[in-house]
Amino acid sequence: MSESAFGIRPGEVATELPPGYDAGVYFIGRIRTPWKRREECPKNARESDAACTIEVDERFARALAGIETCSHLLVLYWMDKSRRDLVLQVPRNRSGTRGTFALRSPARPNPIAASVVRLVRVNGRQLSVVGLDCLDGTPLVDLKPYFASTDAVPEAVVGWHAERDQPA
Amino acid sequence: MSESAFGIRPGEVATELPPGYDAGVYFIGRIRTPWKRREECPKNARESDAACTIEVDERFARALAGIETCSHLLVLYWMDKSRRDLVLQVPRNRSGTRGTFALRSPARPNPIAASVVRLVRVNGRQLSVVGLDCLDGTPLVDLKPYFASTDAVPEAVVGWHAERDQPA
């Protein structure tokens, strides 16, 4: 009941958010996916090979020049359905309480997700990509070329997540 | 002259930004680096093994619980010195005009940088990390655990960047 009433589970802790924002974000497009409700979303992006479509707004269309030469992109998007004040969380699918910055949970002070996607095709200002797990209609915040030289660290370890190496 | 007057180089194109922001960002801490001016910053993070310090604000300190078990983090920060309306850019160190979304340039509609760092030590709400190339005092936006399973793509290619695989 406390969960449905306040969106917070036993063991979770909220902080007081700052009185105002420090900067502003433009939504520069939308992400189209097959998933209309959170329960339908794959638990993480590697669970699905569904092609999703990133649609960039007309005013930013020219900023896509050259992106078709990239095999992979880093996509930043805004998870606008999440509360922002949780500092300790109890992931639904795992035991234990962890700090927000040790989790990939959408509930965080700035609900910006970062996902690596494979770029399949560019068609005007629509990009077909594989590797997203977000809700249909999610606002797009940024697209970046993925550089293996600086972005790929295959040996990285998340110690608390020993049993299984999938984001929670 | 046009560059100094308008901060735009021949071949670069600006768009009209939306009339207002769609969402707000909290600065959740600051990044301390050895670099006080942009000319001093390493051209990219792999050029430097300087240890930098991420200082998380007191109100978010508890959100660090468990982060000490991560070998690497994804750090999001706000590049607040950059113009946001460029869609085509001419990188200073390369020839050719490219779209903003094909570049890692700080000039972008939402000036959020994403850097992978190695976590060296956690001391209270201060994190010692290696792998940043930003100005001292840069506002922190988010910290995430880096999962090799979803975040590492060693075979990724940026086609336009054939000669040398370093971000521009």
CA torsion B96-B97-B102-B103 (nearest 10°) is: 80
β-strand partners of B4: none
**Sorting pLDDT into bands at 50, 70 and 90, what band is B6?**
low
Here the ipTM equals 0.92
Contact A107, A86 (CB under 8 A): yes
* Structure letter (DSSP) for residue B158: B
List chain B residues with CB under 8 Å of A143: 101
Which residues, in sequence order, are bridge partners of residue A25?
Answer: B23
Judge whether A28 is closer than 8 Å to chain B, CB to CB. yes
Cross-chain CB nearest to A22 (options B26, B153, B166): B26
pLDDT of residue A3: 43
Residue A5: the pLDDT is 42
Cα→Cα distances B105→A2, A9, B69, Å: 45, 40, 31
Please answer whether residues B156 and A152 qualify as being in contact, where contact means their C-beta atoms are separated by less than 8 angstroms: yes
Find residue A119's DSSP bridge partners.
A129
Q: Reduce the DSSP state of residue A22 to 3 states and report it.
A: coil
Shortest alpha-carbon distance between residue A115 and chain B (Å):
7
pLDDT tens per residue across span B67-116: 999 999 999 999 988 899 999 999 877 778 999 999 999 999 999 999 99
Residue carrying structure tokens 């735009």: B8
Q: Measure CB to CB from residue B25 to each of A22, A27, A103 and give the nearest one.
A: A22
pLDDT at A2: 40
pLDDT of residue B5: 42
Q: What is the pLDDT of residues A51-77, one digit of tens each?
A: 999 999 999 999 999 999 999 999 999
What is the distance between the alpha carbons of residues B39 and B42, in angstroms, rounded to a whole number? 8
Token pair for B26: 């909290």
Segment B35-51, tens digit of pLDDT? 998 888 887 766 678 89
Q: Does A95 touch chain B (CB under 8 A)?
A: no
Q: What is the pLDDT of residues B119-136, one digit of tens each?
A: 999 999 999 999 998 999
Residue ranges of chain A with pLDDT lower than 70? 1-6, 45-47, 163-168
Q: pLDDT grade, residue B2 (50/70/90)?
A: very low
Phi, psi for B135 (deg, rounded to 5): -70, 150
In the stretch 114-143 of chain B, residues with CB closer than 8 A to chain A read 114-116, 118, 139, 141-143
Q: What is the pLDDT of residues B133-153, one digit of tens each?
A: 899 999 999 999 999 999 999
Interface test with B, best of A17, A79, A151, A160 (most B CBs within 10 A): A151
**pLDDT value of position A60:** 98
Q: What is the pLDDT of residue B68?
A: 97
Cα A122 from Cα A130, distance rounded (Å)? 13
Nearest CA in chain A to B155: A148
Q: Which of A21, A141, A144, A160 to mutate against chain B (most B CBs within 10 Å)?
A: A144
Q: Which of A100, A143, A161 is the mutation pick for testing B, counting most B CBs within 10 A?
A: A100
Chain B: closest CA distance from residue A34 (Å): 20
Cβ contacts of B72 on chain A, cutoff 8 Å: 153, 156-157
Burial label for B21, CB within 10 Å (0-12, 13-18, 19+), is middle
